[in-house]
């Protein structure tokens, strides 16, 4: 970049150095509404003076500034109510700016310092998160960085979110994650302006929230037998094997998590997944099931309990609550009542997905219910259940939400819908006048593999970063006012620890953040991905695990007319060189470079590939067995 003469102003609050700069030195995710780059850099002084009010909502904002500047930059932060020459001014507008709304902000950097203004403290918080991305990457470190020029580009930014619902779902049921890990999850998501944490608290593998009136939900339902490997195919634990793997959140834990999130302008939505996915509850209270013999059931440890190869995915054990039993609704009244007191958020998610109905079909109680209520199908039976649960939720002052299966048999009058099996369910619900959050597997299921299955924990589908970036929450022909926003989901069957949580979330959640915050017209993957690469450097400094799979090529096996085996390698992003070997050695950039379809040597057993950007290795060494390529190519 061509340099101009430097003009330096020095005073106790800092200095401004001018240089010919372009917008390319600004890299912010999610992309702001408007960025106007000016010439120059503002240099932070040794003592950073922050002008701010002292109202309680400002505490987390000021704590963030203090922590970052002292830990990484080695600077002293002084907060004053009035400071005309402040380094950073945090200004709450006396007259609301109608353009930026409740969560937007204006950020201005000039020769005198930095000013962030907003209508509400949430906007100031997001403005400070943007400021962190304007600073050198070393701001993400855990120790004072040496030889860093702590400068900020001279810039004006106008920014506000596209949607009010910007969510991430964290499944803490399949594997239990500690209270501290949930807080860490919140700290990571707010960097990219997510504002909704959806906690999937109950499932077949564990009940994770204390219900004081139903203590067996946690003494029994929160624990199973530890297994590691390919979830879903584990050997069923013997009856006498200790069940000590798991855990739960006490009600005080939940209050602490909710407050921690609120201080960071995040709402927390609980999910109790019923009527299906309820084996942990049934193991604790067998009278919830419609099947005989449920008193012998145990919390699932990852063994097979449903047959996904058959229509309706019949259950091998009854993991669905009995919709014909009044005890079920008395149970749910207690559960919903206690949970509603813990979560201030207006919505409560009650699941509704993947409910196996084969045990209902065999139940005399259910048959009697169908005759009494004139229900013709099992879908109508579930609809009967959902509408009764909706009334329970509403009686506790909350709004009922469920997965898109709640449409089947007839959706309740006031229900909100989360569309996961694609977007069609969301379209249908919106056209009926219901609120919708889009969360389709097609784009935002973060449990899916990110690269070829030879490198990833086995899951039944793949989802690349560039596909996630295509996520658009508002379908054509739908009233946008009914689409509250979008959400990405991390199911954790194959996620055993928090480092793997990070690996699965990042960088794909960065793509989701732009889908739910940034203007639709500004979305551009060719602009987005270079920003992602800059975030990788920040992740390294913050010791956040992330997936480098965007650098992994896609393998396509080809059976040629002469029965020989070919393979094509397709990079996900431009600018990569792929090098390969068939001789069992590990290639680097001095090996053959891939340029067109490869012919697999007749006696080769494996293909190794690695990707470079120029002289720098960016991709992992991938080892593709030739046997696997032959399977994919077919006869």
CATH fold of 552-633 = Immunoglobulin-like (2.60.40)
Cα Rg of the chain (Å, integer): 27
How far apart CA 462 and CA 452 sit, in angstroms, is 8
> What does the angle CA 431 – CA 433 – CA 434 come to, to the nearest 5 degrees?
105
Residue (of 259, 191, 205, 267) closest to 237 by Cα position: 205
Cα separation, 436 vs 419, in Å, equals 7
Q: pLDDT at position 2, please?
A: 33
CA angle 517, 519, 521 (to 5 degrees): 145
Report the interhelical angle of 498-505 vs 508-517 (nearest 10°).
50
Give the per-residue pLDDT at 20: 32
Taking only the tens place, the pLDDT of each residue in 112-126 is: 999 999 999 999 999
* pLDDT bracket for residue 21 (50, 70, 90): very low
CA quadruple 134, 157, 91, 184: dihedral sign: negative
522: pLDDT strictly greater than 50: yes
pLDDT at 635: 79
pLDDT, tens digit (0-9, with 9 covering 90-100), for 549-571: 999 999 999 999 999 999 999 99
> Could you tell me the residue ranges of all domains in the chain?
8-159, 165-542, 552-633
| CATH fold match for the domains 165-542 and 552-633 | no
Q: Provide mean pLDDT across the span 276-305.
A: 97
Residue 617, CA atoms < 13 Å, CB-side half-sphere: 14
Distances (CA, A) of 395 to 83, 158, 256, 270, 348: 50, 41, 25, 17, 12
When pLDDT is cut at 50, 70 and 90, the band that residue 9 belongs to is very low
Candidate list 31, 354, 386, 405, residue with the active-site label: 354
Answer whether residue 22 shows pLDDT above 80. Answer: no
- Mean pLDDT estimate for the chain: 95
Residue 11 confidence (pLDDT) above 60: no
Question: Mind listing the pLDDT tens digit for each residue in 565-597?
Answer: 999 999 999 999 999 999 999 999 999 999 999
pLDDT bin (cut points 50, 70, 90) of residue 10 is: very low
633 φ, ψ (degrees, to nearest 5): -75, -25
Query: So what's the pLDDT on residue 228?
Result: 93
Cβ atoms 129, 160 nearer than 8 A: no
Whether the CA torsion 432, 438, 439, 442 is positive or negative: it is: positive
Average pLDDT for residues 593-606, to the nearest whole number? 98
Task: Give the pLDDT mean for 162-188.
Answer: 98
Could you tell me what percent of the chain has a pLDDT over 70? 96
Share of the chain above pLDDT 90, in %: 94
Question: Residue 489 pLDDT > 80, yes or no?
Answer: yes
The CATH number of 165-542 is: 3.20.20.80
Q: Which pLDDT score, from 0 to 100, does residue 7 have? A: 33
* Active-site annotation holds for 428: no
Compare 381 and 232 and report the one with higher pLDDT.
381
CATH of 8-159, one of 3.40.50.300, 3.30.300.130, 3.30.379.10, 3.40.309.10: 3.30.379.10
Counting beta carbons within 10 angstroms of the beta carbon of residue 326, is it exposed (0 to 12), middle (13 to 18) or buried (19 or more)?
Answer: exposed
What pLDDT, in 10s, does the model give residues 211-226?
A: 999 999 999 999 999 9
pLDDT above 50 for 186: yes
SS (H, E, C) 279-340: HHHHHHCHHHECCCCHHHCCCCCCECCECCCCCCCCECCCCCECCCCHHHHHHHHHHHHHHH
The mean-pLDDT minimum among 227-241, 350-364, 503-517 falls in 227-241
Question: How far apart (Å, rounded) are the C-alpha atoms in residues 222 and 244?
Answer: 9
Q: What is the pLDDT of residue 25?
A: 80
Mean pLDDT of 287-312: 96
**Is 90 exceeded by the pLDDT of residue 3?**
no
What would the pLDDT profile of 525-537 be if each residue is shown by its tens digit? 999 999 999 999 9
């Amino acid at each position: 970049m061509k340099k101009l003469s430097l003009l330096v102003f020095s005073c106790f609050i800092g200095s401004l150095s001018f240089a010919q700069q372009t917008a390319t030195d600004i890299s912010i995710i999610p992309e702001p509404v408007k960025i106007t780059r000016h010439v120059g850099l503002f240099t932070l002084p040794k003592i950073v003076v922050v002008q701010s009010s002292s109202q309680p909502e400002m505490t987390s904002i000021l704590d963030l500034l203090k922590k970052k500047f002292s830990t990484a930059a080695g600077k002293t932060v002084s907060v004053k109510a009035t400071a005309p020459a402040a380094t950073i001014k945090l200004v709450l507008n006396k007259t609301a700016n109608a353009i930026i709304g409740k969560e937007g902000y204006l950020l201005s950097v000039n020769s005198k310092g930095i000013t962030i203004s907003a209508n509400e403290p949430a906007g100031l918080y997001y403005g400070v998160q943007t400021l962190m991305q304007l600073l050198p990457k070393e701001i993400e470190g855990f120790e004072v960085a040496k030889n860093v020029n702590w400068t900020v580009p001279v810039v004006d930014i106008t920014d506000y979110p596209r949607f009010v619902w910007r969510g991430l779902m964290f499944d803490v049921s399949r594997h239990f994650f500690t209270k501290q890990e949930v807080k860490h999850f919140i700290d990571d998501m707010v960097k990219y302006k997510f504002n909704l944490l959806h906690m999937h608290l109950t499932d077949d593998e564990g009940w994770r929230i204390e219900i004081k009136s139903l203590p067996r939900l946690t003494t029994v339902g929160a624990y199973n037998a530890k297994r590691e490997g390919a979830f879903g195919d584990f050997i069923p634990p013997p009856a006498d094997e200790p069940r000590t793997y798991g855990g739960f959140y006490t009600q005080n834990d939940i209050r602490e998590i909710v407050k921690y999130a609120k201080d960071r302008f995040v709402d927390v939505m609980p999910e109790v997944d019923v009527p299906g996915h309820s084996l942990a509850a049934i193991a604790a209270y067998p009278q919830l099931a419609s099947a005989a013999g449920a008193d012998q059931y145990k919390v699932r440890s990852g063994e097979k309990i449903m047959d996904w190869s058959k229509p309706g995915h019949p259950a091998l054990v009854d993991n669905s609550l009995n919709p014909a039993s009044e005890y079920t609704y008395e149970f749910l009244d207690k559960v919903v009542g206690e949970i509603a007191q813990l979560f201030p958020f207006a919505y409560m998610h009650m699941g509704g997905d993947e409910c196996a109905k084969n045990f209902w079909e065999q139940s005399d109680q259910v048959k009697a219910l169908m005759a009494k209520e004139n229900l013709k199908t099992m879908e109508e039976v579930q609809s009967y259940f959902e509408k009764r649960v909706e009334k329970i939720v509403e009686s506790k002052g909350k709004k009922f939400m469920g997965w898109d299966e709640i449409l089947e048999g007839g959706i309740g009058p006031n229900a909100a819908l989360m569309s996961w099996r694609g977007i069609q369910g969301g379209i249908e619900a919106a056209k009926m006048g219901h609120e919708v959050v889009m969360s389709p597997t097609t784009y935002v299921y973060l449990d899916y593999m990110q690269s070829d299955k030879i490198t990833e924990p086995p899951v039944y589908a793949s989802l690349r970063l560039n596909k996630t970036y295509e996520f658009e929450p508002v379908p054509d022909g739908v009233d946008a006012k009914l689409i509250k926003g979008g959400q990405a989901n991390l199911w954790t069957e194959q996620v055993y620890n928090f480092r793997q949580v990070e690996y699965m979330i990042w960088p794909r959640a960065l793509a989701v953040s732009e889908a739910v915050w940034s203007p639709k017209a500004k979305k551009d993957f060719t602009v987005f991905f270079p920003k992602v690469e800059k975030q990788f450097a920040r992740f390294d400094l913050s010791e956040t695990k992330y997936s480098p799979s965007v650098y992994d090529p896609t393998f396509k096996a080809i059976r040629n007319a002469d029965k020989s085996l070919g393979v094509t390698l397709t990079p996900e992003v431009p600018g990569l060189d792929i090098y390969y070997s068939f001789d069992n050695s590990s290639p680097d950039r001095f090996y053959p470079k891939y340029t067109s379809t490869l012919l697999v040597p007749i006696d080769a057993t494996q293909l190794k590939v690695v990707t470079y950007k120029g002289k720098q290795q960016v991709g992992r060494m991938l080892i593709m067995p030739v046997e696997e390529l032959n399977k994919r190519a077919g006869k």
